[in-house]
């Protein structure tokens, strides 16, 4: 019996480690809103989701703020905590934001950010015997605390 407990724990650890495989893929859909410091900005209708398989997930998209600045890549870095997961979706803690303009691909800075990123899981609905899948909604509110940051607040809503 004592030998079975360590074996069971080992199997559980191996299963949970493989339960979240790394992902690096582009998701297309519809950007519902991108606001920078409360002002709407033109946005991309896709984003790159990168999950390292260790509860750290980043979301990368692009926008143009409508001013004279060139198009910008926005990367939101998050970490998943077990107590923020439920049947309806995931709430990820925002840790950092990177802003990089297209004309300077080697120049980027990591800004410490606070906020939450929500991924609402699809809730299959039955239409007779057929299961209809609903869209996944991503919502993010980020606050950058550094006075030197080009943006103080980012609000992003996306459906895919």
SS (H, E, C) 92-155: EEEEEEEEEECCCCCCCEEEEEEEEEEEECCCCEEECCEEECCCCEEEEEEEECCCCCCCCEEE
Is pLDDT larger for residue 3 or for residue 58? 58
| Total domain count, the chain | 1
* H/E segment holding residue 16: helix 4-18
Is pLDDT larger for residue 18 or for residue 136? 136
Residue 106 above 80 pLDDT?
A: no
- Residue 6: pLDDT band (50, 70, 90) is very low
> What is the domain range of residue 101?
22-159
Could you tell me if residue 54 is inside a domain?
yes
Could you tell me if residue 10 is inside a domain?
no
Could you tell me if residue 88 is inside a domain?
yes
* H/E segment holding residue 8: helix 4-18
**pLDDT, position 67:** 59
Could you tell me if residue 9 is inside a domain?
no
Could you tell me if residue 153 is inside a domain?
yes
Chain length of the chain: 160
**pLDDT, position 111:** 93
Q: 1-15, 58-72, 136-150 — which is least confidently predicted?
A: 1-15
C-alpha distances out from residue 84 to 81, 89, 93, 116, Å: 6, 9, 9, 10
**pLDDT, position 22:** 87
Cβ(31)–Cβ(60) below 8 Å: no
Could you tell me if residue 2 is inside a domain?
no
Could you tell me if residue 36 is inside a domain?
yes
Rounded to whole angstroms, the Cα distance separating 70 from 45 reads 18
**pLDDT, position 159:** 86
What is the mean pLDDT of the segment spanning 46-64?
A: 89
Span 9-49, pLDDT tens digits: 344 444 344 446 888 999 888 898 999 999 998 888 899 99
Could you tell me if residue 48 is inside a domain?
yes
Q: Is 142 exposed, middle or buried (0-12, 13-18, 19+ CB in 10 A)?
A: buried
**pLDDT, position 68:** 52
**Dihedral of alpha carbons 59, 101, 105, 96, sign:** negative
Is pLDDT larger for residue 31 or for residue 128? 31
């Amino acid at each position: 019996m004592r030998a079975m407990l360590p074996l069971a724990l080992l199997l559980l650890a191996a299963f949970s480690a493989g339960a979240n495989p790394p992902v690096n893929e582009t998701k297309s859909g519809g950007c519902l809103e991108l606001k920078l410091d409360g002002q709407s900005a033109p946005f991309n209708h896709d984003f790159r989701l990168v999950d390292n398989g260790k509860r750290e997930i980043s979301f990368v998209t692009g926008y143009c703020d409508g001013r004279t600045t060139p198009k910008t890549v926005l990367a939101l870095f998050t970490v998943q905590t077990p107590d923020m997961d439920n049947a309806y979706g995931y709430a990820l803690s925002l840790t950092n934001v990177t802003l990089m303009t297209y004309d300077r691909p080697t120049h980027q800075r990591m800004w410490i950010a606070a906020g939450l990123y929500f991924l609402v899981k699809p809730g299959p609905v039955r239409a007779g015997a057929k299961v209809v899948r609903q869209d996944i909604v991503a919502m993010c509110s980020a606050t950058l605390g550094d006075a030197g940051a080009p943006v103080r607040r980012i609000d992003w809503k996306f459906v895919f």
